[in-house]
Amino acid sequence: MINRLVIENLKHRRLRTMLSALSIGFQVTMILAVVGLSRGMLQDSQNRARGAGADIFVKPPAASAISLGGANMPEKMIEAFFIRQPRVVRAAGTLVQPIGGISTVTGVQFDDFAAMSGIRFLEGGRFKDKFDVVIDEYYAEQNMKEVGHTVRFLNTDWRVTGIIEAGKLARIIAPLATLQEITSNTGKISQVLLKLDDSKATPAVITALKNTPGLEGYSIYSVEEFVSMFSIDNVPGLKAFIYVIIGLSIVIGFLVVWLTMYTTVLERTREIGILKALGASPADIVNILLRETLVLALVGWAAGIGLSYAANAAINTLVKASLQSVIVYDWWPIVAAIAIFASLLGATWPGLRAARQDAIEALAYE
Amino acid sequence: MNNPIIEISGLEKIYRVGDVEVPALRGVDLTVGRGEFLSVVGPSGSGKSTLFHIVGGLTSPSSGAVIVDGRDMANLTDIERTRLRRGKVGFIFQKYNLLPTLTAMDNILMARHFSGANGQPLSEQFNDLLKLLGIQHRLHHKPRALSGGEQQRVAIARALVNHPAILLADEPTGNLDTQNSDRVLSILRDLNQRLGQTILMITHNPEAAAYGHRTVTMRDGRLREE
Ligand SMILES: Nc1ncnc2c1ncn2[C@@H]1O[C@H](COP(=O)(O)OP(=O)(O)O)[C@@H](O)[C@H]1O
Ligand SMILES: [Mg+2]
């Protein structure tokens, strides 16, 4: 019976119900989008790291696993040392250079890298001249680039010679020597990728490398260790940012529901008086308002999930080279709890006010 | 009077509006017998509604004794007054006061819900009452689809669904035309005569008051017997 009253009341104020639920929905979407983006971008980085085809990643001292740039390792270590190690069949050095925002260009010796990662061209082919680049399909699509077009970064025009399948470490690949030259990193690389004759030998090779004099302080990861570091915890500030978004959305949800319920209570002074005359206790009145709020929160939650699918689809089709987003199912219960918490909090004060309201004041004055 | 259902003595009620004290009842004594149909008349603002609100447990008196069906209303907590209201009192108002978002039937069931008799089928007696009220075929309409007379008859059904000891009707015909007034008043008289329902009715209209067994007049917060 109470549920029928709750539903009828919400239906009666259809527009306000929908707007409030939608506000809660945006609050839910905001959280889902931020978490979905964080996770989508990290997963994309992981996939690309796996796509490099390496078994072991070696980074120089003081470099973070997921840092965007830096080049502190001498390139000649590859020839002089890494390629000579037992079980190592290929070694490729890369120089990673940020080119604005979170985008990077990766410099490679094309043959070494192609052999390791098994690059597949969708169009065109490898670079030949100094200022040639190869881009991946996502970058090409988002920026509408084709073979023969020019792309500009690092104050330089580059000619696109090929478009490769996505998921091979980098979105933009340039000749290592050119990149070293224009970034004043001649002879230096950011990391070395090693391919073994058998992946099963990875732990043994890592142990051997770690015990090599001169490699103290170097970070040596198996590919799985390497990708496991692409996590929300390891991106500086990301967790705090997510908490800020959650906090903001709680505040917004709280205010929206407070306003809605407060207006509702003022408007329904008479109805509350009638209910009391029919024998409703203050607790019954609070119960009715909290149930209305709960319905708002749950409808808003469902709407928010729907909106997050829309946001996801938009991100993954319109800007898929720079942003990636995934649906974060495990966060659905969390955002439900957040939406319910914020809404019930917002309904508390109006609810108590309604419960205390004098029934006869509502009934006596026409 | 034999076995009275309401016994009021020395009842006073003072409303506080900010710093101002508004005395609404200044010492009311009244005894109502079981099965009686009492009319209360008197000018506006004389305290009639306040008296009903106290008897019905919607508000507490400032001083004096009010015993309804054996229970003293004077020193009850809010919760106890709510509980008493659920079982013993049915209200009818001038403005019908149906819940606008619910159908007539749901309005009736809502009153039943708060009495705790949720889910139990309506009694044979109550179905007879719906026939007497002539609203069986209108029960699935919302209040705004009903005429004033129909709304008031639904309100009567809602007030009686829990078989209250007393029915308090505050100007039940105040918004109705003559024909609908007559109908509501004869229904009240029928209820009283056939079922022995105790009724207290406030009215401005002497003809309406004549439906009761006895009329008392309220003036400036005091009662006088006619
Ligand atoms: N809730 C209230 N707060 C303050 N004053 C009230 C309230 N209800 C009634 N009064 C005052 O008490 C007096 C009696 O009112 P009421 O019982 O409604 O009279 P009646 O029903 O005879 O018109 C009036 O002066 C009215 O203004
Ligand atoms: Mg009145």
User: Is the predicted pLDDT of residue B178 greater than 90, yes or no?
Assistant: yes
Give the pLDDT of residue A182: 93
Structure-model confidence comparison of residues B8 and B77, the more confident one: B8
Mean pLDDT score, A257-262: 93
Give the pLDDT of residue A363: 75
Closest residue of chain B to A362, computed from CA coordinates: B97
Which ligand has the minimum distance to the alpha carbon of residue B94? 2
pLDDT tens per residue across span A270-311: 899 999 999 999 999 999 999 999 999 999 999 999 999 999
Mean pLDDT score, A227-231: 89
Give the pLDDT of residue A364: 64
Among the partner residues A1, A276, A280, nearest to B109 by beta-carbon distance? A1
Ligand 1 contact via B43 beta carbon (within 6 Å): no
Residue A208 CB coordination number (10 Å):
15
How far is Cα B117 from Cα B80, in angstroms, rounded to an integer?
18
Give the pLDDT of residue A68: 60
Q: Are strands A73-74 and A172-175 parallel, antiparallel or unpaired?
A: unpaired
Token readout for B103 is: 């159908």
Token readout for A168 is: 């091979």
Give the pLDDT of residue A67: 63
Ligand 1 contact via B107 beta carbon (within 6 Å): no
Q: How far apart are the first and last CA of chain B?
A: 17
User: Is the predicted pLDDT of residue A347 greater than 60, yes or no?
Assistant: yes
Per DSSP, A134 falls in state E
pLDDT tens per residue across span B42-86: 999 999 999 999 999 888 899 999 999 888 887 788 888 888 888
User: Is the predicted pLDDT of residue A143 greater than 80, yes or no?
Assistant: yes
Q: Tell me which chain A residues have a C-beta less than 8 angstroms from the C-beta of B144.
A: none
pLDDT tens per residue across span A166-212: 989 999 999 999 999 999 999 999 999 999 999 999 999 999 999 99
DSSP codes of every residue in A192-255: EEEEES-GGGHHHHHHHHHTSTT-TT-EEEEHHHHHHT-SGGGSTTHHHHHHHHHHHHHHHHHH
Ligand 1 contact via B46 beta carbon (within 6 Å): yes
Bridge partners of A98? A104
The residue among A112, A120, A136 whose CA lies nearest residue A189 is A112
- B-side interface with A, Cβ within 8 Å? 49, 53, 56, 58-59, 78-79, 82, 85-86, 91, 93-95, 97-102, 106, 109-115, 118, 158, 162
- Residues having C-beta closer than 5 Å to ion ligand 2: B 49
Give the pLDDT of residue A357: 83
pLDDT tens per residue across span B21-49: 999 999 999 999 999 999 999 999 999 99
Give the pLDDT of residue A89: 94
Report residue A120's pLDDT band, with 50, 70 and 90 as the boundaries: very high
**B79 to A50, A353, B68, B97: CA distances (angstroms):** 68, 17, 16, 23
Percentage of chain B with pLDDT > 70?
98
C-alpha B201 – ligand 2 centre gap (Å) = 11
Closest residue of chain A to B108, computed from CA coordinates: A278
| A122 contacts chain B (CB < 8 A) | no
Structural domains of chain B in order of their starting residue, each with its CATH number: 34-59+77-225 (3.40.50.300)
Ligand 1 contact via B17 beta carbon (within 6 Å): yes
Residue B86 CB coordination number (10 Å):
20
The residue among B44, B1, B57, B52 whose CA lies nearest residue B28 is B52
pTM above 0.90, yes or no: no
Mean pLDDT score, A130-145: 93
Ligand 1 contact via B47 beta carbon (within 6 Å): yes
Mean pLDDT score, B201-209: 94
Residue with tokens 């800020």: A244
Asked if A6 and B106 touch (Cβ cutoff 8 Å), the reply is: no
Give the pLDDT of residue A345: 94
- Asked if the Cβ–Cβ distance from B101 to A11 is below 8 Å, we say yes
Q: What is the ipTM of this complex?
A: 0.91
Long-range own/partner contacts, residues B181-187 (CB < 8 A, 24 or more apart): B181/B205, B181/B208, B183/B149, B183/B153, B184/B149, B184/B152, B184/B153, B184/B156, B185/B211, B186/B211, B187/B132, B187/B133, B187/B153, B187/B156
CB contact set of B209 (below 8 Å; sequence gap of 6+): B39, B41, B201, B203, B215
The residue among B22, B95, B221 whose CA lies nearest residue A364 is B95
User: Is the predicted pLDDT of residue A359 greater than 80, yes or no?
Assistant: no
